[in-house]
Amino acid sequence: MWTIVEHRRIGRHIDSIPAKTLKRYETWKDVVSLSGPEGVWRIEGFHDEPRPGKKKGRRQSWLDAGWRVVYRIRKREIRVRALRGQ
């Protein structure tokens, strides 16, 4: 089992996230908690990739066309930094 730690700002933005995207985020969290980041890497729909530029060490997974989850891996812990929309 992997531990998922969400940044405190995510709770404030949950109301502004579309229901469909929120459901994909919950699915993403379920996959990560059971299989770790390798489980997400195997699912092509999440398009998991390293962050470009200065944000080395962080990764992002696309939830849908306009939203992504930004996270960092530390030992057996996933630290979710942000849910970003375009």
Is 54 inside a domain boundary? yes
**What pLDDT score was predicted for residue 59?**
92
| CATH at 43 | 3.30.2310.20
**What pLDDT score was predicted for residue 30?**
94
Contact (Cβ atoms closer than 8 angstroms) between residue 80 and residue 4: yes
Domain tally for the chain?
Answer: 1
As a whole number of angstroms, the distance between CA 77 and CA 86 comes to 27
Is 11 inside a domain boundary? yes
**What pLDDT score was predicted for residue 33?**
94
For the chain of 86 residues, list the mean pLDDT of each consecutive stretch of 10: 90 85 92 92 88 84 90 91 79
Per-residue buried b or exposed e for 49-77, using 16+ beta carbons within 10 Å of the residue's own CB: eebeeeeeebbbbbbeeebbbbbeeeeee
Is 14 inside a domain boundary? yes
Give the structural domain span for 48.
3-18+36-85
Is 29 inside a domain boundary? no
